[in-house]
Structure 1
Amino acid sequence: MDVWCNGQKVETTGEFVDDGTETHFTLGEHSCCIKATSGGKKKNGIDHSLLLDGLKVPASSQ
């Protein structure tokens, strides 16, 4: 997966895990991860979560 931050493409490492995929990258001194997991049903789609230093970032209402 390509990850961009402030107009710059960042280096990532992707891996398959039991419940989906994880894309790891760093921003400055921070460890980040985008987790993609299946909701179990096709119509539920894929749930993406952003973790910053191991903590889930709440979804934006925008």
Structure 2
Amino acid sequence: MKPASGSTASPAPAGVVWLNQAKAMPFGPNEVFAALSLDFEDGLSAAEVARKAST
């Protein structure tokens, strides 16, 4: 699926195949908590997924 025309979406990092869901909750003027549900490429180890999810 392509982003809508004029979208500010950036490309997914290597290893991420799809963003299933994203939720955000503000915690003040300079803080936001974001929860993401991501699909990763098949064949990645748990360590590779953890590294990609934290960057």
Q: Give me the TM-score of the superposition, normalised by structure 2.
A: 0.33
Q: Structure 1 or 2: larger helix share?
A: 2
> TM-score, normalised to structure 1's length?
0.31
**Whose relative contact order is higher, 1 or 2, with alpha carbons under 8 Å and at least 6 apart?**
2
